[in-house]
Amino acid sequence: MPTSSTNKVEVGASAPDFTLPNSQGKPVKLSDYKGRSAVVLYFYPKDNTPGCTAEACSFRDSYDVFKEAGAEVIGVSSDSSDSHQGFADKHALPFVLLSDQGGSVRKLYGVPTTFGLLPGRVTYVIDKDGIVRHIFNSQFGATKHVEEALRILKG
């Protein structure tokens, strides 16, 4: 589905920097990870929905493998910091969840909507130098995002 945004991050481009609040309301900058670790940045529609819960738990279950591969996992949705905190607590999520309440970062990355309604589910694998190495877009293959990201990080 096309997006109304003219921005679209492509493989090989520098990942656009941004600052968003985490589940404690503290600001997190993407550029803080540059030079330190790769980042698996995943955009998802909504906390506590079946597909998003399956995806988050899949990232949780593979979190040690991501860390061993030198990557940090960051989830982004338009839910509030409070919602993220409850979601993270309920499912013991060890990674960062960021609140993009106005959808500005989603627009910055050109994450499309599905059927013009649902916020898209897209994962970006960003290397240590801040370059986008892989983009995986699948609204309905929630747990495939983890497999794809690991395949790229290990490959």
Residues marked as catalytic: 52
> Beta 71-77 vs 38-43: how paired, if at all?
parallel
Tell which residue, 72, 18, 12, has the closest CA to residue 41: 72
Angle between helices 50-61 and 81-91 (to 10 degrees): 60
Q: Say which residues have a Cβ less than 8 Å from residue 67's Cβ, sequence separation at least 6.
A: none
- Secondary structure (3-state) at 35: coil
AA letter at 73 = V
- Secondary structure (3-state) at 131: strand
